[in-house]
Amino acid sequence: MYARTATAALAAAALMGTGAVLMSTADTRTADRAGAGHVTAVTGVSTVSALTTNAKRTAPVVFAHRGASAYAPENTLAAVDKADALGFDWVENDVQFTKDGVLVVVHDTDLKRTTDAEEVFPDRTSWAVKDFTAVEIARLDAGSWFGPQFAGTRVPTLKQYLDRVERNRQKLLLEIKSPEIYPGIEKETLRVLRQKGWLDRAHVKNRLVIQSFGADSVKKVHQLRPDITTGFLGTPAVAELPSYAAFTDQINPAYTSISADYVDAVHALKGAHGKKLRVNTWTVNDAETATKVAGLGVDGIITNTPDVVREATG
């Protein structure tokens, strides 16, 4: 789920075969869907029935993936600020452990792609995040790979990241990255969130979701803090969805893996907090795909180009 270069803004695509009017995150209107038709799943695997006449649907929430990562280096404070400048409340990030147990915000489990670790530490035989201390990672340039204007941008710690999101009054979709290689990361993530004031009622209710590809990790978060909204990253089989609903509130699949029937199957179940399971799909970066997945009925779209998706679905 990443884009290395900025994508030019695309014109909004018209909704296919229906007259749905979708809303942006800042505009909470609903609209009647005009006419029934058929929508082909984004995967191209199957054709499924669309909404019936007069069914109502709200537009998907737009999540800025790793910040507005088409326009600033992913998972940096600059990407958070760019999302804020574009008017987006929700940002997504990834957290991992350093060698000395500090949570840092970075996607890849090694530092080669998005930092100059190989140049700064040429004698190392590993560039894995878990093999570097927080002080060592703080020395790295996490912006020059993206563009010279971002030279000197740093990998933020989770604490620094939370401070910036709080300053901007944004909301956080936090991914626990590769939990299988970071024992105890769930507990430490919650400790830092608590320390920075993110586990009070207001944040937990309205501004925080924790997700992971690791089902056991999501379960652990739910066990430790049952009040927190959680999401599972992936596309469980329909028959397995009830077991996931016991510990999560969201099923968050790749857009290439879903159809309207699948979204409906998720929505038919109630999640861990007794509310309808939600679907946030990733990573959608163009207007045409955004329009298609919105037509499938997803609740949210995770994107490197949030402005493009907003225009296409607004």
CA of 165: how far to CAs of 23, 24, 154, 286, in Å?
Answer: 24, 20, 16, 25
* Catalytic annotation, pick one of 65, 203, 222, 273: 65
CA of 11: how far to CAs of 6, 40, 135, 251, in Å?
Answer: 16, 22, 44, 29
List the structure tokens of 91: 């940002």
Instruction: Give strand pairing partners of 211.
Output: 175, 231
- Rounded to 5°, the CA angle 68-95-211 comes to 80
Instruction: Give strand pairing partners of 250.
Output: 231, 278
DSSP string across 95-140: EEE-TTS-EEE-SSSBSTTTS-HHHHSTT-S--BGGGS-HHHHHTS
* Catalytic annotation, pick one of 38, 107, 222, 267: 107
In the annotation, is 267 catalytic?
no
Per this entry, what is the length of the chain? Answer: 314
Q: For residue 140, which of 153, 127, 149 has the smallest C-alpha distance?
A: 153
**Which spans in the chain are helix H?**
77-85, 117-120, 134-138, 158-167, 185-195, 201-206, 215-224, 241-245, 260-267, 287-295, 306-313
CA of 81: how far to CAs of 91, 198, 222, in Å?
Answer: 10, 19, 30
CA of 238: how far to CAs of 47, 64, 263, 305, 308, in Å?
Answer: 17, 28, 10, 30, 31
In the annotation, is 273 catalytic?
no
Quick one: how far is CA 177 from the chain centroid? Answer: 12
Give buried/exposed letters for 68-102 (b at 16+ CB in 10 A, else e): bbbbbbbbbbbbbbbbbeeebbbbbbbbbbbeeeb
Residues that are catalytic:
65, 107
